[in-house]
Structures are given as C-alpha cells and as structure tokens.
Amino acid sequence: QQQVKQSPQSLIVQKGGISIINCAYENTAFDYFPWYQQFPGKGPALLIAIRPDVSEKKEGRFTISFNKSAKQFSLHIMDSQPGDSATYFCATRNAGGTSYGKLTFGQGTILTVHP
C-alpha cells in the first residue's frame, strides 16, 4: 500500500517565523508532488507543487525542497502569518498504471501562527 508520511502532526509558530513541514514517500512511481492548504469547512486548495526533476521551487513565501534520493520533500513557509493558519497536506501523484493521476495524501499538519 502506497503511503506518504507527513510530520509534524501539528506546528505552532510565531508570526514572522519559518514553518517547516516534512513528507516522506515509499513508492518511486510518482510524477508530481503538490502541497494543499485547507481551511476549516473548505476544500483543499493547491498551494505549490514540484516535479521530481527539480530540487527546489519557490513561490512567494512558500518553498518546496525535494530530495529524490531520500524520497523526501518539505514545505517551507517564510515570514509565517496568522492567515497561514490552516491544515497542510502533502501529496504524491501516480505516474501511470491503473491509478494514473491518483493523489495520495499525507496525514496533514495543523499549522497555527500566533500573532
């Protein structure tokens, strides 16, 4: 069974600090690694994503670092703001086979940014 292990389960950061969330995967047949942000009562929204041929991608305050050999990727939120308080899910996307395009999500990280 494909698994994506996400840590920490919860994270508390002061405003202006750096939030770091980590994910590790087992299967290598993935072609896309997105991060989703979910606010209470809302559906997940795509935040940032990376392909496995790139080691880092930055969009504004959000950066994905990708380590293919270690099968790990992480989300860094710089200058964290109270409005970033949400649940964050990493995911992996199947590259082929009968589950082509399927997303497998990590367990989620509840981020709280204190003012």
Partner 1 sequence: DAMVIQNPRYQVTQFGKPVTLSCSQTLNHNVMYWYQQKSSQAPKLLFHYYDKDFNNEADTPDNFQSRRPNTSFCFLDIRSPGLGDAAMYLCATSRDPSGEETQYFGPGTRLLVL
Find the angle CA(42)-CA(36)-CA(60) to the nearest 5 degrees. 115
Residue 73 CB, shortest distance to partner 1, in Å, is: 15
Query: Please, are residues 27 and 2 in contact by the beta-carbon 8 Å criterion?
Result: yes
Considering only residues 11 to 70 of the shown chain, the ones binding partner 1 according to CB under 8 A are 31-32, 34, 36, 41-46, 49
What's the first-to-final CA gap in the chain, in angstroms? 40
Residues written for the chain: 115
Which one of 89, 92, 111, 113 is in contact with partner 1 (CB under 8 A)? 89
Residue 100 CB, shortest distance to partner 1, in Å, is: 5
Residue 16 CB, shortest distance to partner 1, in Å, is: 28
Q: Are strands 4-7 and 56-59 parallel, antiparallel or unpaired?
A: unpaired
Looking at 17-25, 52-60, 69-77, 96-104, which segment touches partner 1 (CB under 8 A)?
96-104
